[in-house]
Amino acid sequence: MKKREFVFNLSLFAGCLLFALSMFNNSVWIIAAALIASSIALKVYRQDNPKMNKNYKELVVEKSMRKKI
């Protein structure tokens, strides 16, 4: 397993675990730690899988290219 995958899985698991723990303890500090862990997981995920936003013109061109083939 790659280091980035390990960091992503660990931070995602830690965030979920801390959120579940905060439901029972009602601690603001645990919720803050869970939010930090989930934001780290999101940052690692977005570095590996960037958003693929396209504007309307690019979508129309792509659709017309598919029809030609």
Q: Where are the domains of the chain?
A: 3-68
Residue 69 pLDDT exceeds 70: no
The residue type found at 48 is D
- 56 band by pLDDT with thresholds 50, 70 and 90: confident
Q: pTM for the full model? A: 0.65
Better-scored residue on pLDDT, 35 or 48: 35
Better-scored residue on pLDDT, 1 or 24: 24
Confidence at residue 13, expressed as pLDDT on a 0 to 100 scale: 92
Q: How many CA atoms lie within 13 A of 7 on its CB side?
A: 12
Better-scored residue on pLDDT, 17 or 51: 17
Distance, CA of 26 to CA of 15 (rounded, Å): 15
Residue 1 pLDDT exceeds 70: no
Query: HEC states along 44-56?
Result: HHHHHCCCCCCCH
